[in-house]
Amino acid sequence: MDNRVEIFDTTLRDGLQVEGVSATVEDKLRIAEQLDYLGVQFIEGGWPGANPKDIEFFARAARELDLTTATFVAFGSTRRPRGKVDEDPTLQNLLDAGTSAVCIVAKSSQYHVTEALQTTLDEGAAMIADSVEFLRGHDRQVLVDMEHFFDGFKENPEFSFRALEAAVLKGATHVVLCDTNGGSLPHEVEEIVGQVNAHVGGDVTIGIHCHDDTGCAVANSMAAVRAGARHVQGTLNGLGERTGNANLTSIIPNLQLKQDYVCLPEGRMERLTIVSHRIAETLNRAVNPQAPYVGSSAFAHKAGLHVSAIVRAKDAYEHVSPESVGNTTRFVVSEMAGRATIQMKADDLGLQMDGAVVNQVIDDLKRLEHEGYHFEAADASLELLMRRAAGWAHEFFRIESMRVITDELSSSPFTTEATVKVWVGDERYVCTSEGNGPVNAIDRALRAAIQQAYPHLANIHLTDYKVRILDGGQATGAVTRVLLSATDGENDWTTIGVSPNIIEASWRALEESVVYGLLHAPAA
Ligand SMILES: [Zn+2]
């Protein structure tokens, strides 16, 4: 059997169903470009004509997207019950979208035809047949998403087979079996897809579309492929309503690196991590650090005995090479670190360190962690500390002073203002900015001051700000630890600041964050 498995990404429809996620037309175009850069076969653009934003998106996609590997697909549904195909607004919108391929959702479960649509099974099958025929007649490639397929099949397999046949006989190229409620388990999916494959597998490509309500969406998708599916629908990072859609960032490497399937063109698997992070960034949803393959902790090793063993035989502790998916091994360092760990981290960063410097770093780590620093969680601050120990000092800017004022006036809400005086080379800049709080105000003031010298700052923004009170026994006199995460769309990093004064702790973390971002700015 053919070992090619097509990847059909639904991030632009299902992925945008997540609570709190929204995307502008511009964002959607960038996401489509990233998916094409990764090399998926199909990019679903959503429902054309659903609202003015979607109409604009399809119009601009047709003009502006220059896809090299992917086919752009408009999504819609079959005609209405007892309606006519040539008077159906949804089918008309699909044609108006002007894509060469369309995907329509069809009711393939008896229960949904008789209860949700309130129509007969004959009409249910006719809706599918007529719609596929109509779209084929307008020269479109037609994929049919068989909604509630697994639940329907368990109840009445004859009707589910009828729905499939209706699509296949009229020329659909794909029937995609959907676990719409996400309740199926891998053994059920494998069994049912096997039956479908035996029945229509010779005439059509069988697809799978899973939701993660049992935590099995990835496993279910793989079970379907084992049973003969050769088309997998899902979203990058598993974005989707409720518990999410099948996560393509796991499925693709599982199929291609662990089995003999081919999902992406040659040389594209290495782009998985960067594309996953860029899309997350565009949608303002950080990638889960523990996400398989692409998370920042996916190949992180904590110090200890373990680490010196990893140096000798890295592959003994990693299930695949991180480079194969564009990720990297990361050594997590804390005060527990021994010389081997520090030395390895230094090699990783390309730093020359003799024994005295390594000892210095270990002493610094012990002292700072005693004060409340926690470098395991703040890789970027650790890197800067090690660079400084090796004799480096950054020359991006010098802070002369920083001041924050917060006022409460009875007539208006709290206002916060920060003033930063800073030198870049021989130039002195004094900038004042307002913010919705002290950290926001100092961030804006520092940026305003040095932005002109470092335009790359415009690409850097803060993604997370965590405050933790250490030694809570001292109440307001306790020490504050601030962890600040930032991104430039390619890299994510975290810095740390510790002080009895929350503003000072935030300021330390912020300054380090900016320095790290500038140090790692892509060469202009
Ligand atoms: Zn779905």
Q: Summarize pLDDT for 249-295 with one digit per residue, the tens.
A: 999 999 999 999 999 999 999 999 999 988 988 887 878 989 999 99
CA of 181 to the centre of ligand 1 (A): 9
What is the C-alpha separation between 155 and 235, in angstroms, rounded? 28
Q: Assess whether pLDDT exceeds 90 at residue 30.
A: yes
In angstroms, what is the span from residue 351 Cα to ligand 1's centroid? 48
Q: Please say whether the beta carbons of 43 and 101 come within 8 A.
A: no
Residues 6+ apart with CB under 8 A from 505: 467, 480, 481, 482, 497, 498, 499
Q: How far is the CA of 156 from the centre of ligand 1 (A)?
A: 21
On whether the CB atoms of residues 287 and 295 are closer than 8 A, the answer is: yes
Residues 217-232 have pLDDT tens digits of 999 999 999 999 999 9
| Positive/negative CA dihedral, 306, 309, 310, 311 | positive
Flag whether pLDDT at 384 surpasses 80. yes
| Interval between CA 147 and ligand 1 midpoint (Å) | 8
Q: How much of the chain, in percent, has pLDDT values that exceed 70?
A: 96
For residues 98 and 266, give the distance between their C-alpha atoms in angstroms, rounded to a whole number: 30
Check residue 417 and give its pLDDT: 93
Q: How far is the CA of 26 from the centre of ligand 1 (A)?
A: 23
Q: What is the mean pLDDT of the chain?
A: 91
Res. 214: pLDDT tops 70: yes
In angstroms, rounded to a whole number, what is the distance separating the alpha carbons of residues 182 and 193?
15
Q: What is the CA(137)–ligand 1 centre distance, in A? A: 27
How far does residue 210's CA lie from ligand 1's centre (Å)?
7
What's the pLDDT band for 1 if we cut at 50, 70, 90?
low
**HSE-CB for 454 with a 13 A CA cutoff:** 24
Please tell me the distance between residue 268's alpha carbon and the centre of ligand 1 in angstroms: 25
Q: What confidence score (pLDDT) does residue 406 get?
A: 86
CA of 233 to the centre of ligand 1 (A): 9
Mean pLDDT, residues 352-361 taken together: 90
460, pLDDT greater than 80? yes
On the question of pLDDT at 306 being above 90, the answer is: no
| CA of residue 363 to ligand 1 center, whole Å | 53
Q: Distances in Å between the alpha carbon of 226 and those of 107, 223, 339, 469, 470?
A: 25, 5, 47, 51, 51
Predicted local distance difference test score (pLDDT) of residue 336: 63
Q: Residue 480: which residues within 8 A CB-CB, separation 6 or more?
A: 467, 468, 469, 470, 498, 499, 500, 501, 502, 505
**Per-residue pLDDT at 438:** 87
Q: What is the mean pLDDT of residues 429-439?
A: 91
Give me the DSSP letters along 80-100.
PTT--GGG-HHHHHHHHTT-S
Alpha-carbon distance of 66 to 411, in angstroms, equals 54
DSSP 184: -
Residue recorded with tokens 């369309």 = 102
d(CA 173, CA 465): 49
Distance in angstroms (rounded) separating the CA atoms of residues 76 and 92: 10
Comparison of pLDDT for 246 and 390, the residue scoring more: 246
Distance 507 CA to ligand 1 centre (A): 44
* Cα 62 to ligand 1 centroid, rounded to whole Å: 24
At position 487, the amino acid (one-letter code) is T
In this prediction the pTM is 0.79
- Residue 14 CA to ligand 1 center (angstroms) comes to 6
Structure tokens belonging to residue 334: 């804390």
**And the tokens for 367?**
């002292």
Confidence of residue 478 (pLDDT cuts 50, 70, 90): confident
Ligand 1: distance of its center to the CA of 238 in Å? 11
> Could you tell me the distance, in angstroms and rounded to a whole number, from the CA of residue 55 to the centre of ligand 1?
21
Distance from the CA of 255 to the center of ligand 1, in angstroms?
21
pLDDT digits (tens, 9 = 90+) for 74-103: 999 999 999 999 999 999 999 999 999 999
Per-residue model confidence (pLDDT) at position 448: 94
Residue 337, H or E segment: none
475, pLDDT greater than 60: no
CA distance 306 to 263: 34
Distances (CA, A) of 85 to 20, 82, 128, 333: 36, 10, 10, 64
180 CA from centroid of ligand 1 (Å): 6
Model confidence pLDDT, tens digit, residues 138-167: 999 999 999 999 999 999 999 999 999 999
State the pLDDT confidence band at 335, using cuts at 50, 70 and 90.
low
The Å distance, Cα 150 to ligand 1 centre, comes to: 13
Pairing type for strands 42-44 and 330-332 reads unpaired
Residue 284 CA to ligand 1 centre (angstroms): 21
And the tokens for 415? 């206002």
The alpha carbon of 324 and the centre of ligand 1 are apart by a number of angstroms equal to: 29
pLDDT of res. 345: 85
pLDDT given for residue 476 in this prediction: 58
One-letter identity of residue 446: L
CA of 504 to the centre of ligand 1 (A): 47
